[in-house]
Amino acid sequence: MRRLTLIRHAKSSWDYAELSDFERPLNARGRRDAPVMAARLAPQLERPLRLISSPALRAITTAHIFAAALAVPNTAIRIDPRIYEATRGTLLGIVREGDDADSHVLLFGHNPGFSELAQLLAPCPFTDLPTCAVVTIGFEARQWRDIRHGGGVVQWYDFPKKNID
C-alpha cells in the first residue's frame, strides 16, 4: 500500500507588492491554520514519512510548520523545484519517482496542479483544494512507479474551514 498526501500551502500574504509570487510569505491566517491542519492530519499518518516541498516560501513554510507539529526534523524535508508551477503530469512524474522505501509521502505545493493531480488519481469530493487543504490518497501499488490514473482512493480529506458554521 502506498499513500500520498497532498497539502496545498497555507494562506499567503499579498501585502508586499515588491515580492515575487515565489517569495510571498504566509499571512496570519496561514500561520494559524497550518499547525491546526497538521494536528488534524497526525492521527492519519504512519511512519516513516517523506516530506517533499515546493521551494516557494509559502509552501516551504507550510512544510516546516507541519514538520514541527509532526515531530519531523526540518532537515528531513526535501525541496523539489519542479513542484512550483507544476502541471499534474509533472507532479505525477515526481510521485512515480518516489523511493519505494517510503510508504507515505507528503507533498507541499500549489494549485491548480495539486487539485488536478488529486482528481487524476482518484474520485475526489472537491474540484479545487482550498488553501491548507489536505487530501490523502491510497493506492494498492507495490512501487511508486506503478501509480496510475484513477488507481487511488481518497482516504482522508480536510481543510481549515470544514467545520466552521
Looking up residue 26, the CATH number of its domain turns out to be 3.40.50.1240
pLDDT in tens, 129-163: 999 999 999 999 999 999 999 999 999 999 998 87
Report the chain's mean pLDDT, rounded to a whole number: 95
- Mean per-residue pLDDT, 80-84: 98
User: What's the number of domains the chain is made of?
Assistant: 1
- Mean per-residue pLDDT, 77-95: 97
5 CA to centre of own chain: 6
| Kind of pairing between the strands at 134-139 and 2-8 | antiparallel
Determine, yes or no, domain membership for 165: no
Asked if residue 24 lies in contact with residue 52, where contact means CB atoms within 8 angstroms, the answer is no
- Mean per-residue pLDDT, 97-110: 95
- Mean per-residue pLDDT, 17-32: 95
97 CA to centre of own chain: 16
Determine, yes or no, domain membership for 24: yes
Determine, yes or no, domain membership for 40: yes
Phi, psi of 11 (to 5 degrees): -60, 130
**Comparison of pLDDT for 46 and 32, the residue scoring more:** 32
SS3 52: strand
Q: Return the closest-CA partner of residue 30 out of 53, 60, 55, 71.
A: 60
Domain hosting residue 69, numbered range = 2-158
Task: Please list, in sequence order, all residues whose beta carbon lies within 8 angstroms of the beta carbon of residue 90, skipping any fewer than 6 positions away.
Answer: 82, 113
Share of the chain above pLDDT 70, in %: 98
pLDDT at 164: 61
Angstrom distance (rounded) from CA 139 to CA 123: 13
CA-based radius of gyration for the chain:
15
pLDDT in tens, 41-80: 999 887 778 999 999 999 999 999 999 999 999 888 999 9
Determine, yes or no, domain membership for 22: yes
